[in-house]
Structure 1
Amino acid sequence: MKVVVAGAGYAGAVAVNRLAKRVPDAEVTVVNPRPDFVERVRLHQQLAGTGHAGRPLSQVLPRGVRARQAAVEKIGDGCAVLDDGDTLDFDFLLLAVGSTLSPLPGTVPTGTWEGAERARAALAKLPAGRTVTVVGTGATGIETAAEIAYARPDLKVRLVGRELAAPLSEGARRRVRDGLARLNVALVEDIVTGVRPEEDEPAEGTVTLGSGEEFASDLTLWSVIGSVPDLAARSGLAVDERGRAVVDEYLRSVSDPRVVVAGDCAAVPGSRMSCQTAEPQGAHAADTVARMIKGEPLRPYKVEYVAACISLGRRDGVIQFVHRDDSPRRRYFAGRLGAMTKEGIVRGAGFSARTGIVGALPGAK
């Protein structure tokens, strides 16, 4: 059996390692644009210079799995066309290309390896007293602004977005706000409608808000993640309004059951973009492929969450407990314990990516 895995992020890496154990005689090929596994939840550390987000794929993929450094350009009838012109036949394809950003012109995206590296280089050139603007008040934006403020207290950091940490409980949101204030991050609750860059320095310019207010920014970072690569749509698979592949209860594409989808690019009702989603889905997708190969009954996937985690530099963080449907509970904790817990969770995600072992909630079926 030939299995192609498109994407080697959290979902793809977990799926490959799990599939190698479940079906050791399968011929598995991983297609990824980079030779590295990128810990996306560490990209804010990468750009701020407080940590590293990448490691060679050879340290993550199991032996016997073939890796191709390329991108899947199109998925056809049992065939994947790569951007280098090559083709790969498959019996099953696991689609795990993740999500991406659609930054405004004049901004640097922070949710990709390339964007984080560009932001890191730009930050290194900024002298003391300059202003960094981070657009996006979700977890990615909050962590980016906090990490920069922690690493470079000599800079002025501004965080701009409509609503701060919207998914959290009221108490946890207040704690996030307090944590940002301790780091001297200025919060502007408004939307960014445009950035007018300087001709000689594209990342420097004037930021325009929805209210009409304008202010100068020496470096503007885009931390709004919400779009996905258009591979599924480009391949003729059914997609939702956000471009995510529509799947059945087993995570199979409703257009082609040979294509199993996991992570941010899967239109699973009730799921959010996070490694807490990607890894369980990657594991389940691998199990679905293994069961189809072996002719075993399929099992439906169920969305279940435990917590939402936000780091505020290296010494502070907020851990929000959630119900299994991801709605927030009242309980949360923060401070150094929150930072240590977040670090532990991130390390656990890395372990799962390397082994395919993903924990289940007590009582989960």
Structure 2
Amino acid sequence: MKVAVIGAGYAGMVAANRVAKKIKGAEITVINPRPDFVERVRLHQQIAATKQVATPLREILPGRVRTLVTTVDTIGDGVVRLAGGESAGFDFAFLAVGSTVRPLPGTLAVGEWESAERARTVLAAMPADGVVTVIGGGPTGIETASEIAAARPDLDVRLVGTAVAETFTGRARQRILDGLERLGVAIVNDGVAAAEPGSVRLRSGQEERSDLTLWAIVSGVPDLAARSGLAVDDSGRVIVDDFLRSVTDPRIFAVGDCAAVPGSRFACQCSVPQGGHAADNLARIVAGKSPARFSMRFVGRGVSLGRKDAVVQLTRRDDTLRDGYLAAKVAVAAKEAATRGASFGARTGFGGSW
């Protein structure tokens, strides 16, 4: 049996490693545009040079798993058509191409490996009193601004967003804002209209100095599924059944950010359990059993504020927020455990949730 895994992020790696363990004799091919597994949720640490976040695929995949470092044109009819006209056949496939960023011209994207590497080089060469602008008030923007401010207190760090930390509420949100202030991060409640070398122009019309401008906003998903003829929702995510299979082609499982799984959001705590569950369902199908329905379960939402502070707001199973939250050392430990757990799942095939 031939199994193709398209994408080597959290969901794809969990699926590949789990299939390798559960289905003996499966011929598994992992297709990815780069030869590494990148811990995407740690790219802000890569930029700030507080951690290396890329590991060669050959180090975390079994030797019998084949890897192809290339891009995919289309998928369908049991064939993955690759860039350059080559192809790879499959009996079953996992579509796990994640989400994308579309940075404003003149900025460097936090969520892309190559762009994050360029940002790391620029930041490392930046003299004291340099100015860094981070665009995006969500968790990625908060973590990026915090990580840089904690690692480089000699720099001026600015976080630009119309609603900073809006995915948190009440005392937890205020605790995040207070943490940013303690780190010296200036919050600008505005948007960015344009970015040029050395400056940014805010939507309000004000122009500000910026020696490094980082884009920390996720914009959508790749159009691979749509251009392949698979049914997608308005945002381009693959429409799946209760078992994480494409409603267009049940041989294709869609997992992670690129899948329209009810109740899920862009997060590794969604991608890891989806990748594991889809792999389990394939094992059930191969064994002649019925696949199991997938149900997403949440525990909390976390954000790091450098290496020594964090906030984790507790949630109900359906991701609605509770009043309670963790902060400081306890939250740092919980957030780090969740991040390490996602990486462990990708490296081993264990697909739990935190």
Residue 130 of structure 1 and its aligned partner are, at CA, apart by: 1.4
Deviation by residue 1:73-121 (Cα, 9 ceiling, x = unmatched): 2113110011133200111110001111000101000101111101101
Q: What is the distance in 2 between the residues matched to 1:76 and 1:353?
A: 25
Determine the structure 1 residue equivalent to 2:342. Answer: 349
Residue 210 of structure 1 and its aligned partner are, at CA, apart by: 2.7
Determine the structure 2 residue equivalent to 1:200. Answer: none
Q: What is the distance in 1 between the residues matched to 2:231 and 2:253?
A: 13
Q: Retained in 2: the 8 A contact 1:270–1:325?
A: yes
Question: Secondary structure at 2:230's aligned position in 1?
Answer: coil
Determine the structure 1 residue equivalent to 2:325. Answer: 332
Letter of the 1:313 partner, please give it: G
Unaligned runs of 5+ in 1: 198-203
TM-score using structure 2 length: 0.97
Determine the structure 2 residue equivalent to 1:249. Answer: 242
Structure 1 segment 12-161 matched on structure 2, within 5 A = 12-161=12-161
Structure 1 segment 167-186 matched on structure 2, within 5 A = 167-186=167-186
More moved, 248-257 vs 339-348: 339-348
360 and 97 in structure 1: CA distance in 2 versus 1, 3 angstrom threshold = closer
Q: What is the distance in 1 between the residues matched to 2:56 and 2:3?
A: 22
**What is the RMSD of the two structures over their aligned residues, measured on CA atoms?**
1.3
Residue 338 of structure 1 and its aligned partner are, at CA, apart by: 1.6
Residue 41 of structure 1 and its aligned partner are, at CA, apart by: 1.3
Which of the residues 256, 260, 270 maps onto 1:267? 260
Q: Retained in 2: the 8 A contact 1:131–1:155?
A: yes
Determine the structure 2 residue equivalent to 1:220. Answer: 213
TM-score using structure 1 length: 0.94
Question: Secondary structure at 1:100's aligned position in 2?
Answer: coil
4+ runs deviating over 4 angstroms: none
More moved, 54-63 vs 138-147: 54-63
Letter of the 2:124 partner, please give it: A
Q: Retained in 1: the 8 A contact 2:275–2:351?
A: no
Q: What is the distance in 2 between the residues matched to 1:74 and 1:290?
A: 25
Q: What is the distance in 2 between the residues matched to 1:76 and 1:333?
A: 46
Deviation by residue 1:35-55 (Cα, 9 ceiling, x = unmatched): 111111111110100111111
Determine the structure 1 residue equivalent to 2:286. Answer: 293
Percent identity of paired positions between Structure 1 and Structure 2: 56
Letter of the 1:318 partner, please give it: V
1:310 and 2:299 are equivalent in the alignment: no
Q: What is the distance in 2 between the residues matched to 1:192 and 1:242?
A: 23
Q: What is the distance in 1 between the residues matched to 2:320 and 2:133?
A: 30
Q: What is the distance in 1 between the residues matched to 2:301 and 2:59?
A: 28
Q: What is the distance in 2 between the residues matched to 1:207 and 1:270?
A: 36
Q: Retained in 1: the 8 A contact 2:141–2:159?
A: yes
Q: Retained in 2: the 8 A contact 1:167–1:328?
A: no
Residue 163 of structure 1 and its aligned partner are, at CA, apart by: 0.9
Q: What is the distance in 2 between the residues matched to 1:125 and 1:21?
A: 45
More moved, 208-217 vs 128-137: 208-217
Residue 192 of structure 1 and its aligned partner are, at CA, apart by: 1.9
Residue 292 of structure 1 and its aligned partner are, at CA, apart by: 2.5
Q: What is the distance in 2 between the residues matched to 1:212 and 1:271?
A: 37
Question: Secondary structure at 2:219's aligned position in 1?
Answer: strand
Q: What is the distance in 1 between the residues matched to 2:155 and 2:84?
A: 42
1:234 and 2:227 are equivalent in the alignment: yes
1:319 and 2:312 are equivalent in the alignment: yes
Unaligned runs of 5+ in 2: none
Question: Secondary structure at 1:290's aligned position in 2?
Answer: helix
Deviation by residue 1:272-309 (Cα, 9 ceiling, x = unmatched): 11110000000111122222222211111111111111
Q: Retained in 2: the 8 A contact 1:79–1:89?
A: yes
Q: Retained in 1: the 8 A contact 2:246–2:252?
A: yes
Determine the structure 2 residue equivalent to 1:279. Answer: 272
More moved, 16-25 vs 102-111: 16-25
Q: What is the distance in 2 between the residues matched to 1:335 and 1:56?
A: 33
Determine the structure 2 residue equivalent to 1:5. Answer: 5
Q: What is the distance in 2 between the residues matched to 1:311 and 1:140?
A: 9
Determine the structure 2 residue equivalent to 1:258. Answer: 251
Letter of the 1:190 partner, please give it: D
Determine the structure 1 residue equivalent to 2:200. Answer: 207
Q: Retained in 2: the 8 A contact 1:232–1:243?
A: yes
Q: What is the distance in 2 between the residues matched to 1:122 and 1:66?
A: 35
Q: What is the distance in 2 between the residues matched to 1:84 and 1:5?
A: 19
Q: Retained in 2: the 8 A contact 1:70–1:84?
A: no
